[in-house]
Structure 1
Amino acid sequence: MFPVKRGRALGVLFAAFGIHFFAGVLMYGTGIIHLSLLDAFHRDDATTSVVGSLFVNLMCITGPLATYFTDRWGCRVTVLIGGILLVVGLVMSSFVNSLWLLLVTNGIISGVGNGLAVLPCPVAVGYVFRDHSGLAMGITTSGVGIGMLVSGPLIQYLLDTYGLSGTYLMSAAIVSHVIPCGMLLKTPPKKNLTLAATKHRVEFFKTYIKLVKAPSFMFVLVGSILWNIAYAVNMIHLPNFVVQNGSSRSEASFLFTVIGVGSILSRLIMGLATGPKGLDPLLLNFGLTALMGAVIVTFPLYVTYPTGPMIFATLYGIYSGGLLVFTVPLCLEFVGMQHLNSAVGLWFLLLGLGSLVGPPLAGLVFDLTGSFDYSYIFSGLFALTASACSLFASIWRKPEKETVTTRKEHEFSVAAENGFVAVQSHEAHMMKEQSENLISNNV
């Protein structure tokens, strides 16, 4: 059952899918642009990779900021602010001729804008698809996979046709479409869905303290840091790695298309698998991260073979694509609906910390050794360690899942469908108390 009218819920799903698509086009073109930045500025790999790394990572690191904006002004206003910053940063990037200025325009301004545009999407989807959050997240994040399909060839075409400056300008035009998509992210009224923290800002910070005291949830978050280190290394350095081992730039850019196909399939399948009475998302998270780590750590053994990069791209897309699908289902299980916004923000913050470390570290290892082999071995080991974190999370997990959807929440959903909400203060208190008890039971 939808907490809002079916048409509005589908509109939210369509909008979130669109935002992920345009963001995916830009994010997965970062590795192709990285090669052009190396040619344009002639700096070492570690320094140059900071531009793309900042852009990708700040999307996640802005999680708490996006959470605060969403709590205060709602999903639509947050996406509007993010879309404007994203476009402004890319337009400014087309006019600068310094790598350090690009760190500000493309890395920081566009990176923060990207985060504010993307991060309200899982929150909005979680609100309107509570019983089918896994499938809804699978459809939503498959937009990133489709964006990945076109990003490599598209960005390479723009670079060949318009150069680096023109590519930034055209990219701004492409991703400006997140703004009208964001206007469709209409969810039930904030004051009836969020914590009493909307009245007392200090509760905003207390919520995060409660979240980090849940051991099972924290192990999942630590695992997300580790696998995202490996994920970010591939996003930035995969084209350079395969080019150095005999592939052309067009072949390198096509790898992201192959990864995109596998990613779409993975996200949709994982979304279906984690539906009501479906497979355990924590178990699936363990399996995918373990397989992802195995594929990455062995890649240097077959990267020089003609079909090696294609095999890697196919397997990597399948095993890595579905990991983001588990964000909302695991957050709902471990912390409950009322803490969903804060939990998603914290999740993406820690994802960003992982991806912030990954590319510069891999670039530094390359500068010291002259090869990406060790970078891929280390990043694969990080992903394997992330799979172990999922096992540790199960130790503190409750033996039986407890849902925070009560009869009062059901009555709220019915009222929201009819266009009005009347939640009494004691009802809101009961929902908050149930959610806090759920977190404390995981401590």
Structure 2
Amino acid sequence: MSSEQHAESILDETVPSAYLRHGDAAKEQPEPAFPELIHHAEKRDQPSAQTTSSGSGTVVSPAARAGPKESDNEKSNQRASSESSGGSSPSSPPPLQLARSDTLNRQTSVDSYGNTYPEGGLRAWLVVYGSFSGMTASFGLMNTIGTYQAYLSTHQLSHLDESTIGWIFSIYTFMAFFCGVQIGPVFDAKGPRLLVLAGTLCMVGGTLGIAESTELWHFILSFSLAAGLGTSLIFTPAIGSIAHFFLIRRASATGLATTGGSIGGIIFPLMLQRLFPHVGFRWATRILAFIFLFQLIVANILIRSRLPPPPKGSPATSMWPDWRIFKNLTFCLTTAGTFFVEWALFVPLTYITSYSIAHGISPSFSYQLLAVL
């Protein structure tokens, strides 16, 4: 029997039975893909044309009747699927992977060294709140130095001139910022835990010492050295810890945390103005110390770091300043600009209250000027 006759016998036995399931109208339709049936009849011994034996002859399986076009389509679909899963076509990833990638970009970011940053989440925002609490205490005291300068120049240290009293606050500001040169590398190598704890002891102890001070050297020890060192030990890790959780949103998170200093600079001068005449200098300063203690306990609990420590032997493991950073001209100019900004900032913060009193403004409004500034 020739191949054509064999194919015709296959049609007679298989195709009409399929058409009859769709009614008489199906019989009037042209026979489907007759050349393909001939092709499969000629290739029936190959694996792609699967056949089964029955009592009335050889029946071609539906996969065989589908023809080579559908097989080619299946192969092309499999190739497309494998390319999508294998990543060989990055321009058109599957929708699930694309959505997953978009979510990843919104929640995390990666720097040039391969470090990942969550850019948010409960733990990250708790660190921001801990930094906010720590800087409310540290920068709050720094923004209150004008109140203490005006009070000391008219009470405990009234027998000294303004230039001598100014040494207390000049040394305090120097300690608060200059110590960060050493505290920064220690934070990078060891983390913030011990630094914030030591800062809490120095700052609370120094504030309690201010309450008991009566002489110039008392204030230099308690205010300038102890409280100044405590301020640096707290706000340097507070700012550095935020950088462990934020990269793209780092400026926003840091700005939010540093508003604590502004809030402290408003509340504490007004609070001291009210407390000095009612409870005296000693208890007013003690109350301030207790407020600092509460805020710094929150800072000790919440301030954390998350980036892995630097590998042993790398320059980052050294707890000494790396002066090679000054080879970068951009860094040097930025540092110089910040230096002059701070220089211009703390002169009015220190003397605006006493200057206003000396020029006939009422003491109550002179203390309020510091909060307004």
* TM-score, L = length of structure 2: 0.64
Residue 169 (1) aligns with residue 283 (2): no
Distance 1:131 1:75, change over 3 A: same
Structure 1 runs (4+) greater than 4 angstroms displaced: 192-195
CA distance in 2, matches of 1:106, 1:212: 32
Aligned pairs (5 A) from 1:197-236: 197=315, 199=317, 201=318, 204-205=320-321, 208-236=322-350
1:151 CA drift (Å):
2.2
Q: 2:365 aligns with which of 240, 251, 254?
A: 251
The residue matched to 1:128 in structure 2 has which SS? coil
Aligned to 2:175: 58
1:189 CA drift (Å):
4.4
Residue 188 (1) aligns with residue 303 (2): no
Residue-pair matches, total:
255
CA distance in 2, matches of 1:195, 1:135: 34
Aligned to 1:142: 259
The residue matched to 1:89 in structure 2 has which SS? helix
Q: Write the deviation string for residues 153-177 of structure 1: whole angstroms up to 9, x where unpaired.
A: 1121222223222233222111112
Answer yes or no: is the 8 Å Cα contact 1:152–1:255 preserved in 2. Answer: no
Structure with higher RCO (Cα < 8 A, 6+ apart)? 1
Q: Write the deviation string for residues 68-101 of structure 1: whole angstroms up to 9, x where unpaired.
A: 3313331122111101111111212222321112
Q: Write the deviation string for residues 331-388 of structure 1: whole angstroms up to 9, x where unpaired.
A: xxxxxxxxxxxxxxxxxxxxxxxxxxxxxxxxxxxxxxxxxxxxxxxxxxxxxxxxxx
Q: 1:10 aligns with which of 125, 130, 148?
A: 125
Q: Write the deviation string for residues 242-262 of structure 1: whole angstroms up to 9, x where unpaired.
A: 222221121122123323xxx
Distance 1:186 1:153, change over 3 A: same
Answer yes or no: is the 8 Å Cα contact 2:133–2:298 preserved in 1. Answer: no
Aligned AA (2:277): D
1:210 CA drift (Å):
2.0
Distance 1:246 1:190, change over 3 A: farther
The residue matched to 1:129 in structure 2 has which SS? coil
Aligned pairs (5 A) from 1:112-151: 112-151=229-268
Answer yes or no: is the 8 Å Cα contact 2:140–2:260 preserved in 1. Answer: no
CA distance in 2, matches of 1:88, 1:95: 11
Distance 1:162 1:55, change over 3 A: farther
Answer yes or no: is the 8 Å Cα contact 1:18–1:181 preserved in 2. Answer: yes
The residue matched to 1:94 in structure 2 has which SS? helix
Structure 1 segments unaligned to the other structure (5+ residues): 260-443
Aligned pairs (5 A) from 1:42-441: 42-176=159-293, 177-191=295-309, 196-197=314-315, 199=317, 201=318, 204-205=320-321, 208-259=322-373
Answer yes or no: is the 8 Å Cα contact 1:12–1:124 preserved in 2. Answer: yes
Aligned AA (2:302): L
CA distance in 1, matches of 2:252, 2:298: 24
Aligned AA (2:371): T
Aligned to 1:294: none
CA distance in 2, matches of 1:253, 1:95: 22
The residue matched to 2:280 in structure 1 has which SS? helix
RMSD over aligned Cα, in angstroms?
A: 2.1
Q: Write the deviation string for residues 404-440 of structure 1: whole angstroms up to 9, x where unpaired.
A: xxxxxxxxxxxxxxxxxxxxxxxxxxxxxxxxxxxxx
Q: Provide the identity percentage.
A: 20
Structure 2 segments unaligned to the other structure (5+ residues): 1-106, 109-116
Answer yes or no: is the 8 Å Cα contact 1:26–1:171 preserved in 2. Answer: no
